[in-house]
């Protein structure tokens, strides 16, 4: 696996692993908790060194899973987790990025992750009730205390990124970005390039859609978040299928899978982009890692860009409530 460098010199594997789906959001898990520990350790064996979790995943149980799985190799991996939600009775009931909350979450995450330092600590969503300067300053204090190494933001606007970075250096921004979610390109990506901040796209495979394994006939299991997302209605899946068809055509010419082409497109955008596709299967980890070996030509990239822009995408990427949390 190749490595890439995010902001502030943080070096990680070129493709990371989003761990959320091992605990929530995609219906019943195909394996046991022990199976997921095996998947996480298999990822390390295959060169993945960058793992993404959050206190709200579960809540809490995903951090515990990641902590147990990676404890034996802790010195060889980078673990990112997140703060920013108000969690009551095992449910998130809103945002909370007050300084005292950030500190409490850091201490609790350290225990669950079985470590003495959090490598990358993201604000999960921007809290409009807490100045971003206070958030950045608090994380900076945690860095000075040795509890955190790097500060990150998630789904923040270019303006917020600049304000935070002026107080304490931002190492990475995490937001959704893929061939069918191009929102960051207008303002966020140029800001990151200017400030030397890395970018970590989540859902780089469009929550499975860009792999070609989801179409208008797919039925989602109980608890699968895609059943609540407008982009995944039957009508919109049918309308969005043209993009997947073109990706599959490019994949065939390159001896790759559609998912590998979608990841290779992301990797080709900037050298400081590190996607974190999620999976619960070792075979998918191997496939995703293989995307670093897929060389797309300039014609391939231009063709995919042109098609994505001309076809467009039908349906929002979140429901109305969650759309209100992004781009602040």
Say whether 57 is catalytic: yes
SS3 per-residue string spanning 200-252: EEECCCHHHHHHCCCCCCCCCCCCEHHHHCHHHCHHHHHHHHHHHHHHHHHHH
- What residues pair up with 173 in beta bridges, in sequence order? 153, 199
- What is the secondary structure of 19-56 as a DSSP string? -GGGTSSBSS-SS-HHHHHHHHHHHHHTT--EEE--TT
Q: Which of 26, 57, 122, 177 is catalytic?
A: 57
CB 85 within 8 A of CB 96: yes
- Cα distance from N-terminal residue to C-terminal residue, the chain: 34
| Cα–Cα distance for residue pair 106/82, rounded to 1 Å | 9
* Residues 6 or more apart whose Cβ sits within 8 Å of residue 290: 256, 260
Q: Which residues pair with 120 in a beta bridge?
A: 80, 150
Per-residue DSSP letter, 271: T
Integer Cα distance of 54 and 168 in angstroms: 21
Q: Which residues carry out catalysis?
A: 57
């Amino acid at each position: 696996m190749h490595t890439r460098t995010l902001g502030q010199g943080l070096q990680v594997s070129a493709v990371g692993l989003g761990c959320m789906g091992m605990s929530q959001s995609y219906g019943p898990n195909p394996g046991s908790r022990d199976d997921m520990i095996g998947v996480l350790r298999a990822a390390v064996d295959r060169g993945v060194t960058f793992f993404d979790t959050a206190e709200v995943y579960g809540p809490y149980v995903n951090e515990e899973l990641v902590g147990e799985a990676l404890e034996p190799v802790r010195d060889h991996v980078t673990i990112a987790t997140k703060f920013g939600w108000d969690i009551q009775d095992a449910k998130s009931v809103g945002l909370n990025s007050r300084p005292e909350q950030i500190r409490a979450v850091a201490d609790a995450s350290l225990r669950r992750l079985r470590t003495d330092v959090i490598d990358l600590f993201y604000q999960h969503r921007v809290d409009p009730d807490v100045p971003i300067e206070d958030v950045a300053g608090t994380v900076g204090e945690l860095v000075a205390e040795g509890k955190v190494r790097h500060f990150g933001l998630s789904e923040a606007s270019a303006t917020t990124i600049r304000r935070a970075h002026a107080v304490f250096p931002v190492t990475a921004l995490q937001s959704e970005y893929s061939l069918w979610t191009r929102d960051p390109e207008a303002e966020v990506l140029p800001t990151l390039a200017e400030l030397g901040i890395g970018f970590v796209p989540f859902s780089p495979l469009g929550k499975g859609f860009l792999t070609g394994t989801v179409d208008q006939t797919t039925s989602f299991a109980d608890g699968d978040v895609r059943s609540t997302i407008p982009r995944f209605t039957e009508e919109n899946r049918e309308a969005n299928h043209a993009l997947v068809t073109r990706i599959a055509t490019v994949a065939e010419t390159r001896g790759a899978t559609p998912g590998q082409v979608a990841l290779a497109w992301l990797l080709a955008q900037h050298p400081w982009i590190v996607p974190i596709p999620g999976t619960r299967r070792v075979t998918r980890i191997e496939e995703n890692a293989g995307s670093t070996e897929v060389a797309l030509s300039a014609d391939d990239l231009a063709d995919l860009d042109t098609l994505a822009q001309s076809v467009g995408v039908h349906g929002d990427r979140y429901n109305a409530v969650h759309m209100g949390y992004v781009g602040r």
